[in-house]
Structure 1
Amino acid sequence: MAVFELSVIVISIAFLLLTHKLYKSIWKKYGIIFCGVLLFEYFTQALWINKGLEAWSYLYLDVNWIITLGWSTIIIVCMTLVNAYANNAGNLAKLLYYIISVSIVGIIAEQVVLGLGIREYSSAVLEVLSGTKMGIVPIEALYYIPTFMALVIAFVIYWMPAAAARKSR
C-alpha cells in the first residue's frame, strides 16, 4: 500500500502551495533543491537501504524519488522560514540557521522512516556506528545529517543566482 508515498506527496504539495504564496520563485528553488537531494541520494545510496516502498517510487537501484521529495520539502520549508524570520541576518548566520533547522527536522524524519522500516543502514555503516542512539536514530546523525544537508544547501545557494539570471534573459 502506498500510504507513506501518497502522504509525502500530499504534504509536499501542501507546503509548496503555502510557500508559493510567500515567494513566487519557490518552484525554481524547489527544482534546484530536488536536483541537489537527488544527486546526494544517488552518490550515497550505498550507505542506506530504502525498502518497503512502492516499485514506482524507485528511480534507480535504491534511489527513491519519494525520499528525495521528502528531504527536498524539509529543506525548502526550513529555508523559507529562515528567510522569513531571519531576513536581516547575515549570509553566514542564515546558512547556519538553514543547517540547524533542517538538521532538527531531519533527525525527526529519520526517526519516522527508521520506525516505519522504510530506511535501514547498510552493513558497512552499521559496522562503524557507535551503537549509541537517540530513540532509534544513531547518535552519529548529529553530524552526518548536518554535514550532508550543508552540502545540499551549498549546492542550492550556488545555483540559485544562475536560475535567477536565466529568468532575466
Structure 2
Amino acid sequence: MSLIPTDILVKACNCDKTPTIPIVVFEVFILLGTAVALKILSKYQPNILKKFFLVAIGVFIFEFFTSPMWINSHLGPWAYVYQDVSWVLTVGWTTLILSTIIVVDKFLPQLNELKRFVVYLIFLTILVMLLESLVVNLSIRTYAPETLQLINGLYIPILNVPLQILYYVPVFTSLVIGFYKYWNLVLDNKAVVPVKSNKWLRNLIFSFLAVIFFELMIDPMVVNAKLPGWSYFYRDISIVMSGVWVIVIWLATSIVDRFFIQLDLSKRFLLYLLGATVIMLPIESWFINNGYRVYGSSAVANFTGFKVIGLNVPIEVAFAVPLYMALVISLIRYWQITLDNHQ
C-alpha cells in the first residue's frame, strides 16, 4: 500500500513520458552538443563547469516556477526531475545561454555591460525561438489552456511558436542572465566596491520594472481578483498586487544593504531572500485565503495537496516565493552593482 495518496501520484505524472525515436535523437543531440560546447568554451573561460551549473540553476528555477504554463511530454521517464520539468531541456537552454554570454563577451569586449546585455538578448531571442520551434514541432512542448487563451491563436509563421515568445524570451533570459551574472561575481571573486549611499529611487524603479515584467510573463498562472478597478492596467495584473511585491523586495534589499553592507555578496543575498520571503509569504497567504489571489486550474493541478501549517497555502507556493525572489532580486542587484561600480 502506497504511503502517498493516489491522486497525488497522478498529479506527479501529469504528462505522457513515452519517448519517440525522433525525441531520443533530439536528446542525444542536446547532450552531445553540450559536451562539445563545454569543451570549446573551456578554452576561453575558466571554471566552465561551475559557470554552467550557475546558469542551470537559474534556468531550473524558472522552469520549476513556470511549469504550469506548459507541458513537456515524450522525453522518456529518465528525463524528468519534477512532474514535467525536464533536466534535458534545462541542459539545452543552459548551453544556449552560457554559450551566448561567453561568445559575446569574448568577441565584443569593447562594449559596456548594458550594450552586451542587449546583444545577449537579441541573439538568444533568435536561438531560443528556433529551439522552442523544434520542441513544439517534435510534440515535446504543448501549452496549458490558460496559456493558449492568452496566445489567442497568434503564432509566428513557419516556426509555429506563439508571437508572445518575442516578449517571453527576453524576460526569461534576462532573469537567468541576471542570476548568473550576480553569482558569477561571487565565483570569480570580483572586487565590488560597497556603496553606503542608498539610491532608493533608482532601486525602487529597478524593483518595479523587474516585478512588472515577470508578472506580465506569468499572467496565465494566476488571477488577481477583487481589487479596485483602477488598479488593473493589463488583463488582471494590478498595480496594487505588483506594488506589494515591489515594496517588499525594495525594503528587504535596502535594509540589508543599510545594515549589513560589510557582508559579502553571497551572505547578503541570503539575507535578501530570507527577509523578503519572511515578509511576503504571510502576505501571499492572506491574498490567497481571502480570494485576492486565485491560481489557475493548471497551477492547481500541479499542487500535491500538501499545505504549510498555519498559513494554509500550498507547499508549492511556499517554495515558489523564494524562487521568484531569487531570480528577481539577483537581476535587480546585479544592475545596481554594475551601475554603482561603473562597469
133, 140, 145: which one aligns with 2:169: 145
Write the letter of the residue equivalent to 1:97.
V
Structure of higher CA gyration radius: 2
Q: With structure 1 as the length reference, what TM-score do the two structures score?
A: 0.94
8, 29, 46: which one aligns with 1:24: 46
Task: Return the structure number with greater relative CO, CA threshold 8 A, min gap 6.
Answer: 1
Which ranges in structure 2 are unaligned for 5 or more consecutive residues?
1-20, 191-343
Shift in Å at residue 115 of structure 1? 0.7
Which deviates more from structure 2 when the two are superposed, residues 50-59 or residues 23-32? 23-32
Residue in structure 2 matched with residue 126 of structure 1 by the alignment: 148
CA deviation string 1:6-65 (max 9, x = no partner): 211111111111111111222221110011001111001001100010101100001100
Determine the C-alpha separation between the residues in 2 that align with 1:52 and 1:4.
11
Aligned residue pairs total 166
Write the letter of the residue equivalent to 2:132.
E
61, 66, 69: which one aligns with 1:47: 69
Residue in structure 2 matched with residue 74 of structure 1 by the alignment: 96
1:154 aligns with 2:178: yes
Determine the C-alpha separation between the residues in 2 that align with 1:54 and 1:4.
12
RMSD of equivalent CA atoms: 1.3
Residue in structure 1 matched with residue 132 of structure 2 by the alignment: 110
Determine the C-alpha separation between the residues in 2 that align with 1:89 and 1:11.
28
Shift in Å at residue 165 of structure 1? 2.4
Determine the C-alpha separation between the residues in 1 that align with 2:127 and 2:99.
10
Which deviates more from structure 2 when the two are superposed, residues 80-89 or residues 50-59? 80-89
Residue in structure 1 matched with residue 83 of structure 2 by the alignment: 61
Determine the C-alpha separation between the residues in 1 that align with 2:64 and 2:164.
21
Query: Percent sequence identity over matched residues?
Result: 33
Which ranges in structure 1 are unaligned for 5 or more consecutive residues?
none
Write the letter of the residue equivalent to 1:86.
L
CA deviation string 1:100-144 (max 9, x = no partner): 111110001011100111111111100111312112011111001
Determine the C-alpha separation between the residues in 1 that align with 2:179 and 2:122.
17
Secondary structure in 2 matching 1:45: helix
Determine the C-alpha separation between the residues in 2 that align with 1:88 and 1:30.
24
Determine the C-alpha separation between the residues in 1 that align with 2:32 and 2:161.
25
Determine the C-alpha separation between the residues in 1 that align with 2:121 and 2:87.
22
Residue in structure 1 matched with residue 197 of structure 2 by the alignment: none
Structure (1 or 2) with the greater helix fraction: 1
Determine the C-alpha separation between the residues in 1 that align with 2:129 and 2:25.
21
Determine the C-alpha separation between the residues in 2 that align with 1:81 and 1:164.
18
Determine the C-alpha separation between the residues in 2 that align with 1:146 and 1:104.
10
Which deviates more from structure 2 when the two are superposed, residues 131-140 or residues 118-127? 131-140
Determine the C-alpha separation between the residues in 2 that align with 1:104 and 1:4.
19
Secondary structure in 2 matching 1:46: helix
Write the letter of the residue equivalent to 2:99.
V
